[in-house]
Amino acid sequence: MPGVAAEAGVALDSGLEQQVRQLALGMASPPGVRLEVVVGALDARLRLGPCERVEPYLPAGTRLWGKTRIGLRCAQGATPWNVYLPITVKVFGQGITVATTLPAGTVLKTADLVRTEVDLAEDKVAVIADAESAVGRTLVRPLNAGASLRQTDLKARQWFAAGDTVQISAVGPGFAVNGEGQALAAGMEGQPARVRTESGRVVIGLPVAERKMEIGL
């Protein structure tokens, strides 16, 4: 059976493996990054009938990022079948790594950080791309030397406290409207916050800087 061995779990032949790589590289190609596709093996428990032509395809809803899968179907054979092949799509781009092993609770310094190529798809959480934005922040978990720095590795900043006067920006396409109000609760980075405006209206937005909040329109 060209392409897939009758005993699944055996590696694909070179021609079919190349088709899988080309499909993944063609569908997952954001600008400014380098891609690498690692092709896995089929489940060894599968028993597939002989097939003269196997076609790789992208299953609906599949995101070609990190650990994912490609479909394989028998397009020409006595018994049609359809299986899923595990693959890993590595997406290499610029990010920040730690220069040495650091314990949780470390307050990061410039010397702790290195800008280099990292696998953006290694984790679902976005990498830190700018060292300056990490300096002075606190690690919430230990990191080994060379590990990429992710958003969830850093303790969230508190941009304002309950009762603080907060500058509010309502941001829309091509415009921004500014005002101020009183925070009803602490404004933590990445979490929605509630502020009462001068007119008494309560608005919800995202804290973005010291005593500043943005509302998207």
Domains of the chain, by residue range, sit at 14-91, 92-153, 158-216
Residue type, 10: V
Take residue 82 and report the two structure tokens written for it.
């359809």
Residue type, 158: Q
In sequence order, the 6+-apart residues with CB closer than 8 A to the CB of 50 are: 1, 6, 77, 78
Query: Each residue's pLDDT tens digit in the chain (217 positions)?
Result: 445 543 344 457 788 889 999 888 887 566 788 999 999 988 888 888 888 889 999 999 888 999 999 999 999 888 889 999 999 999 999 999 999 999 999 999 999 999 999 999 999 888 999 999 899 999 999 999 999 999 899 998 899 999 999 999 987 777 778 899 999 999 998 889 999 998 999 999 999 989 999 997 6
What number of H helices and E strands is found in the chain? 1, 12
Question: Three-state SS for 132?
Answer: helix
Q: Rounded to an integer, what distance in angstroms lies between the CA atom of residue 23 and that of residue 211?
A: 48
Question: Three-state SS for 180?
Answer: strand
CATH class, range 158-216: mainly beta
Residue type, 191: Q
Question: CATH second-level architecture of 92-153?
Answer: Alpha-Beta Complex (3.90)
Question: Rounded to the nearest 5°, which phi and psi values hold at 50?
Answer: -55, 145
Residue type, 157: R
